[in-house]
Chains A and B, each alone.
Chain A
């Protein structure tokens, strides 16, 4: 039963990574492409992690996986933020129809 759920998770993960890659081609500028890649980095990695957690045999292995996932989810937004900020500082223009508004 766990094996089937794990395989479903892997398929879901591949789907989200695939959609993220498709987004790299479909979205017009670096800022919007980051959103597409974010799908693989959050749910894609999460589903792989969940699948591996279900398949792992020892608790130490599960603990290692949880630590790896937590570190990934901490580092990933930091790097995304840095990339976006660096793009803005270097003057990389967003796509023409981008609005600026106060929320």
Chain B
């Protein structure tokens, strides 16, 4: 946990140095003080931080972001067309859908992707059922949303993270078993 607090301090301090106009002594001292205070204040969040992403998970995330960029450009043009040429300018739909994403971070990621794409806004997410309550500008957008490719990409990322988490816990368990049997062996030697 101390390691994570230190990592957060370094990250915040580096961010401060990058955004400050002149990295002179005054800025460095204030930055170090603020980074320390913030890292100390939030150290209780340490255990809730996500695990470090593997290269494969990072690749999937990068592909998601690239795809999202494409969707955002397309959606901007579609919204502009709807606004300029449709009469009435909008036929909005509230959609209730269950994309089948179980993790909290996956839901947050999908909700953010939906909202950042013009034409759709995540109004609410039910944490118990995983249902998304979405406002779509047109009927077409609402229909397309159900088969949106981002959903399957986030599911892929979720599965990858789950696999990695299982692998880590399995390795930890075997390490624990190893250390326990080593300790038993040592005890036996001591008893002998």
Question: Which residues of A come within 8 Å of B, CB atoms?
Answer: 16, 19, 22-23, 26-29, 31-32, 34-36, 38-39, 42-43, 46, 60, 63-64, 67, 73-74, 76-78, 80-81, 84-85, 88, 94-95, 97-103
Contacts and interface: CB of A to CB of B under 8 A. Distances in A.
Nearest to B123: A84
Contact of B121 (A19, A39, A42, A81): A81
A19 B43 CA distance: 44
Interface string B133-165: 011010100100110000000000000000000
A101 B135 contact: no
B92 interface: yes
B83 A19 contact: yes
Contacts of B46: none
Nearest to B99: A103
Contacts, number: 122
B95 interface: yes
A42 B118 CA distance: 8
Contact of B137 (A16, A35, A101, A103): A35
Nearest to A42: B72
A41 to B, nearest CB: 8
Given A81-B111, A101-B142, A103-B146, A35 B119 contact: yes
A12 B121 CA distance: 24
Contacts of A39: 76, 79-80, 118
Contacts of B145: 103
Given A67-B18, A101-B142, A103-B145, A36 B92 contact: no
Nearest to A15: B80
